[in-house]
Amino acid sequence: MTARMMKTEGTGEKADLLSSLAQAREFLSYTCRELSEEDARKRSTVSELTLGGLIKHVTAVERNWTDFIVNGPDSAAAKTDYTQMTEADFARYADGFRLLEDETLAGVLADYRAAAEETTKAVEELADLSLAHELPETPWGDGGSWSARRTLIHIISETTQHAGHADIIRESLDGQKTMG
């Protein structure tokens, strides 16, 4: 079984949102329990997704959006010019969805736990969840701005969606399920 994700304590909106995120993280990471390195890399559906790759992707997504909450226009995501990406840039992006030769499932799970701690700390230190930043321009977005609250909800949604993907992949691999 995987090490448990950081649980939050307290009451109020921040605690509720962080608790929801912690639960989604737990479902995602639990899906990888007692999994071999080979199975962490194995595609079990027609998609390119693997369990190790999903953990790695969700870690990167959480870090990017947490950076956006804290740094807004100065975040790495806001400074990325997606229109200038090269084939090599897209290849590096694709590597974010799979375990590379020098990576292990234990390593990406540990990195995921570290990202969880970073996000929790950043959100707990926020003075106001209404603090908003302009969204970076992306090929898939329509501009506007998001509050820290909306960005945190997006992190929860992304994590929950990928936890569902992970459950399907795991069940296809060996019949194990997160729930049920």
- Say if 34 falls within a structural domain: yes
Confidence class for position 4, pLDDT limits 50, 70, 90: very low
CA distances (Å), 162 to each of 9, 21, 94, 95, in order? 25, 12, 16, 17
The residue with greater pLDDT, 180 or 56, is 56
Q: Which domain holds residue 72?
A: 13-174
The CA distance from 78 to 99, in Å, is 26
CB 66 within 8 A of CB 118: yes
- Say if 7 falls within a structural domain: no
Specify which of 7-16, 50-59, 137-146 reaches the highest per-range mean pLDDT: 50-59
DSSP per residue, 151-170: HHHHHHHHHHHHHHHHHHHH
- Say if 29 falls within a structural domain: yes
Burial (CB count <10 Å: 0-12, 13-18, 19+), residue 11: exposed
The residue with greater pLDDT, 11 or 116, is 116
- Say if 142 falls within a structural domain: yes
pTM > 0.75: yes
Q: Kindly report, residue by residue over 18-52, the tens digit of the pLDDT.
A: 999 999 999 999 999 999 999 999 999 888 899 99
- Say if 91 falls within a structural domain: yes
The residue with greater pLDDT, 4 or 100, is 100
Nearest CA among 160, 158, 150 for reference residue 126: 150
- Say if 3 falls within a structural domain: no
CB 19 within 8 A of CB 7: yes
- Say if 75 falls within a structural domain: yes
Decide if pLDDT at 84 tops 50.
yes
Specify which of 26-35, 80-89, 139-148 reaches the highest per-range mean pLDDT: 26-35
Residue 133 in tokens: 């930043």
In sequence order, which residues have a C-beta less than 8 Å from that of residue 74 and are 6 or more positions away? none
Helical packing angle, 13-30 and 105-125, nearest 10° = 180
- Say if 8 falls within a structural domain: no
Instruction: Read off the pLDDT of each residue in 78-90 and give the average, rounded to a whole number.
Output: 86
DSSP letter (8 states) at residue 46: S
In sequence order, which residues have a C-beta less than 8 Å from that of residue 155 and are 6 or more positions away? 21, 61, 62, 65, 66, 119
Percent over 90 (pLDDT), the chain: 73
Q: What is the CATH number of the domain that holds 49?
A: 1.20.120.450
Report how many domains make up the chain.
1
The whole-number pLDDT of residue 9 equals 64
CA distances (Å), 12 to each of 8, 9, 15, 124, in order? 11, 10, 5, 11
CB 3 within 8 A of CB 113: yes
